[in-house]
């Protein structure tokens, strides 16, 4: 009877390696960032506001747990998630935390409501409006993230470029902005800027990670599409 117990212990020890690797706020943020697009160590460090040395350490922990992998091109090493399941794992962990920790919603709500830009726009309503030409969907993430995957029909205007590219957005149409998901403030900042200039603008909480996890279609700049549902 001892053998099955040893088997379970050995398996759970291996499973725990994944949990240990993810049990760090910086590493969770890194995984969330890499779910948007592959990045170099330098780009990851800038994205999570950490030193390159600290970021490299966190990436090595994630790599040992086989949550991220590397690809070398010349002098640069690019990190990427090993599998879309990793992004799904982070999303499920986040969903569980939201269900058990009411503080998350309160902190997020208090912070975002100060901007006055977060509106709930349902997926079905968004798709209908996109198909009928009623809205312009704007991806305000950096361009490389848009290239790696975006909501079909969206146009790429990074937040840093929005002010100088306002003329590309018609005021006769409603603007729907999105970024990296519910903790990303780029879309809300974009909406605040647009509304201050007379645009009818809204932000949606869903980012590419959320769309991909639900099986909704994701487009890439090379024309490839993921997911079966519109």
Q: Which residues are catalytic?
A: 179
Residue 39 CB-density burial (10 A; 0-12 exposed, 13-18 middle, 19+ buried): buried
DSSP symbols for 141-157? S-HHHHHH-B-TT-EE-
Phi, psi of 114 (to 5 degrees): -60, -30
Position of tokens 């205007």? Answer: 157
Residues 132, 180: Cα–Cα separation, whole Å: 25
Strand partners, 225: 219
> Is the distance from CB of 21 to CB of 64 less than 8 angstroms?
yes
- Cβ contact 162:139 at 8 Å: no
């Amino acid at each position: 009877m001892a053998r099955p117990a040893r088997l379970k212990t050995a398996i759970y020890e291996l499973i725990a390696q994944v949990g240990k690797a993810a049990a760090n706020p910086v590493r969770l943020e890194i995984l969330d960032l890499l779910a948007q697009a592959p990045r170099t160590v330098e780009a990851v460090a800038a994205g999570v506001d950490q030193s390159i040395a600290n970021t490299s350490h966190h990436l090595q922990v994630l790599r040992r747990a086989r949550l991220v992998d590397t690809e070398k091109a010349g002098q640069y090493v690019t990190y990427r998630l090993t599998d879309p399941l990793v992004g799904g794992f982070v999303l499920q962990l986040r969903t569980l935390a939201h269900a058990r920790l009411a503080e998350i919603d309160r902190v997020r709500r208090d912070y975002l409501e100060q901007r006055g830009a977060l509106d709930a726009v349902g997926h079905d309503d968004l798709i209908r409006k996109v198909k009928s030409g009623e809205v312009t969907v704007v991806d305000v993430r950096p361009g490389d993230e848009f290239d790696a995957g975006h909501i079909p029909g969206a146009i790429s205007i990074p937040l840093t470029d929005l002010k100088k590219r306002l003329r590309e957005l018609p005021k006769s149409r409603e603007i729907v902005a999105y970024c990296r998901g519910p903790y990303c403030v780029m879309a809300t900042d974009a909406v605040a800027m647009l509304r201050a200039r007379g645009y009818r603008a809204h932000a949606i909480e869903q980012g590419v990670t959320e769309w991909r996890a639900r099986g909704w279609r994701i487009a890439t700049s090379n024309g490839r599409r993921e997911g079966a549902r519109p």
